[in-house]
Amino acid sequence: MYLHKARAGLPLTVWFSNLTHTQSMKTLHNLHLVIFQSVVLIHGAAAADTYTNSLKAGDDARKTGNTTSAFAEYDAALTQAATPTERALAIGKKAAVIAYDTKEYARAKKYAEEALAIPDIQPIARVTALQVLAECQMKDAPDFTAAAK
């Protein structure tokens, strides 16, 4: 509340010291709430207990537009992966977040290629990575000829 009323040009410490005691306490309380909520959101929303739950939580987060949580869940799934296919699928899903949600095609392409480089993966992981790779090729080439190659 009071943080938004800071005077232009004053460092936050000077501005804070000019507040009354009641204003200071309210501002400090609000600041603590914001920090607490941020910690709970960051740590509480990520890292489901199993690979399958992490993938599902990542998919659910993506559906609601929460790309940060989706990426964190796919990272958790990657650490929980027990097979090459699980590893490749988690990487492919991370690539999907980057390509479809953040539109960073060069970065997404690297992840997709990393997933495809893993030997002996099942079609689900391969197709996920290939879809992302195709999206990256189409978006990087305005005439879409790169996707036809």
Higher pLDDT, 2 or 58: 58
CA-closest candidate to residue 109, choices 86, 83, 138? 138
Comparing 5-19, 52-66, 133-147, the range with the smallest average pLDDT is: 5-19
What whole-number percentage of the chain has pLDDT above 90? 59
By C-alpha distance, which of 98, 102, 84 is closest to 133?
98
Q: How far, in Å, CA of 107 to CA of 34, rounded?
A: 32
Residue 66 has pLDDT above 60, yes or no: yes
What pLDDT is stored for residue 50 in this prediction? Answer: 95
Number of helices and strands in the chain (H, E): 8, 0
- Evaluate if residue 93 carries a pLDDT over 80: yes
Per-residue pLDDT of 103-122, as tens digits, reads 999 999 999 999 999 999 99
Radius of gyration of the chain (CA): 22
Nearest to 46 by CA among 29, 21, 69: 69
Residue with tokens 């507040």, as numbered in its chain: 19
Summarised one tens digit per residue, pLDDT across range 22-63 is: 555 555 445 544 454 554 444 444 468 999 999 999 999 999
Instruction: Check residue 63 and give its pLDDT.
Output: 95
Q: What is the pLDDT of residues 70-92, one digit of tens each?
A: 999 999 999 999 999 999 999 99
Query: CB-based burial of residue 138 (10 Å sphere; 0-12 exposed, 13-18 middle, 19+ buried)?
Result: middle
For 51-84, give the DSSP string: HHHHHHHHHHHHHTT-HHHHHHHHHHHHHH--SH
